[in-house]
Amino acid sequence: MVLSIDPTLPEAVDSARFKEEGYTFTVTGENVRITAPTANGVYYGTRTLLQILLLDDGRDSVPVGTAVDWPNYKVRGFTLDVGRRFFTADFIRDYIHLTGWFKLNEFQIHLNDNGFKGDRPWSEAQAGFRLKTDNPALSGLASKDGAYDRRDWDSFEDTAAANGVTIVPEFDAPAHSLAFIRFKPSLGLNNGDSDHLDLSKLETTAFMKSVFDEFTPWFRGPDVHFGADEYQADKSRYKTYFNDMAAHIRSLGKHPRAARTASPAAGPVRPVPGRG
């Protein structure tokens, strides 16, 4: 087998996706040659070879011929919610590996969330925040039933890089924020009896910025997701929060992503290019 990167590789079609993730796959009677403009393209070609060999049809060889392959979609992603249910670090690494195996290129990890209230008080609802730092200012924020430290996170990033995957971390606020409110009850609506942050308080946005300040240096990918979905309280202040957080994430050198689902009555928010 011959693997090679050739940035000048001519395209079979006019496709930006081929330039970033495509490859040629040539099989002769002597060998298999996978050539691509990028390392990721070569990686996807090797996945194709392994998948052909693993076909459950008794095959022990690869058909002779030439194929040119590239994805139709720039983003091919998967999201795992670890906020509501903790998954071990070993599981995360295995899932990232599986993501690359199926030629998906993004692994979004939803790092905080909570269960629904139902008929019970919020104090009885499940909540989780899954990153753990030695910073005493955030001591107690990480969930006791499971959280990832910097060493764990670095192992996720290393696994992703080896499997053609980019990690997109997500902290979800100002709704879905019971874990933050448990840590600082004064930041929650209804004296903390809520999973919505109280955006009327300056310290609320300041606290959320401090969370991103602490953990964004861990993240190697270009994008950071700040949630922003399903906030049903103060729509005007939600708009201000949304724009402030997007600007703050940009100031940290990252591209912000969000899932805006507040009422249009909140007024315009500045667009956050990217995917939810």
In this prediction, residue 14 carries a pLDDT of 65
Distance, CA of 264 to CA of 41 (rounded, Å): 41
Which tokens hold the place of 141? 């924020």
Helix/strand/coil for 112: strand
Window from 11-20, 25-34, 172-181, 197-206 with minimum mean pLDDT: 11-20
Is 173 within 8 Å of 203 (Cβ atoms)?
Answer: no
**Is the bond preceding 185 in cis, omega lying within 30 degrees of 0?**
no
C-alpha count within 13 angstroms, C-beta hemisphere, residue 113: 18
Nearest to 190 by CA among 247, 243, 99, 123: 123
At what angle are helices 150-162 and 89-101 packed, to 10 degrees? Answer: 20
pLDDT digits (tens, 9 = 90+) for 47-81: 999 999 888 676 678 999 999 999 999 999 999 99
pLDDT digits (tens, 9 = 90+) for 132-188: 999 999 999 999 999 999 999 999 999 999 999 999 999 999 999 999 999 999 999
In this prediction, residue 261 carries a pLDDT of 62
Window from 77-81, 85-89, 269-273 with minimum mean pLDDT: 269-273
pLDDT digits (tens, 9 = 90+) for 91-139: 999 999 999 999 999 999 999 999 998 888 999 999 999 999 999 999 9
Is 97 within 8 Å of 163 (Cβ atoms)?
Answer: yes
Confidence label for 271 from pLDDT (cuts 50, 70 and 90) = low
Helices (H), the chain: 16-21, 39-53, 89-101, 150-162, 178-183, 202-215, 235-251
Give Cα separations from 219 to 70, 156, 187 (angstroms). Answer: 27, 10, 26
Phi and psi dihedrals of 251, rounded to 5? Answer: -65, -20
Give Cα separations from 91 to 88, 113, 169, 222, 245 (angstroms). Answer: 5, 19, 16, 24, 31
Give the 3-state DSSP-derived string for 180-217, with helices as H, strands as E and coil as C.
Answer: HHHHCHHHECHHHCCCCECCCCHHHHHHHHHHHHHHHH
pLDDT digits (tens, 9 = 90+) for 236-251: 999 999 999 999 999 9
Give Cα separations from 92 to 104, 157, 231, 233, 245 (angstroms). Answer: 15, 11, 29, 34, 27
Model pTM score:
0.91
Those residues whose C-beta lies under 8 Å from the C-beta of residue 162, and which sit 6 or more positions away, are 100
In this prediction, residue 217 carries a pLDDT of 98
Distance, CA of 63 to CA of 58 (rounded, Å): 13
Which tokens hold the place of 139? 């001591």
Mean pLDDT of the chain: 92
What share of the chain in percent tops pLDDT 90?
84
In this prediction, residue 9 carries a pLDDT of 87
Mean pLDDT of 272-276: 49
